[in-house]
Amino acid sequence: MEKFRVTKVHDGDTVSIRISGFAKIPVRTEKVRLIGIDAPELKQEPWGRLSKRYLKKLISESDWVVYLEFDVEQHDKYGRLLAYLMDKNGRMINEKMIETGHAILYTIPPNVKYAERFTEAQKKAQLRKAGIWRKGGLRKSPEEWRKEHPR
């Protein structure tokens, strides 16, 4: 796994990382979509904002440094990198977002390496009524919300 600096948290499931240049390749930033999770959209108040804030907290606790682990497909249809993010202590950020109720399980084959682990994390969050699972929580999944509010 390679070490990267996070330069921006876009929402609860997407960040930008700095990729250091080498040889004649310049330094650049890349968007990274966290595999296996779907966070509420920013306009899904208050959950989208809370999800983004929590992801930012996890990354700041890791001194804005993360390690990326890839699965079968490394890019989505928007050109973003697809990855599992680990903090400086080896804790998986994707899983933490699910188990605290800041994101839901969102599995898209063939990237299913940790699907069972994420399913268990979501069950725990639901049992504890954490975050979006609390009474009066998220009314529509992010996917349903996007279908009703196309860009």
The H or E element containing residue 97 is: helix 93-99
> What's 103's domain CATH number?
2.40.50.90
Which residue in 33, 45, 91, 151 is the catalytic one? 33
The pTM (predicted TM-score) of the whole model is 0.92
CA distance to 26, 37, 69, 133, per residue, from 16 (Å): 16, 16, 15, 28
Is position 41 annotated as part of the catalytic site?
A: yes
Is position 139 annotated as part of the catalytic site?
A: no
Which residue in 2, 18, 30, 41 is the catalytic one? 41
In order along its 151 residues, the chain shows pLDDT tens digits of 788 999 999 999 999 999 876 666 678 899 999 999 999 999 998 999 999 999 999 999 999 999 999 999 999 999 999 999 999 999 999 999 999 999 999 999 999 999 999 999 999 999 999 999 998 888 889 999 899 988 7
**Structural domain harbouring 116:** 2-148
Number of domains in the chain: 1
CA distance 17 to 35: 15
Which residue in 49, 53, 80, 151 is the catalytic one? 80
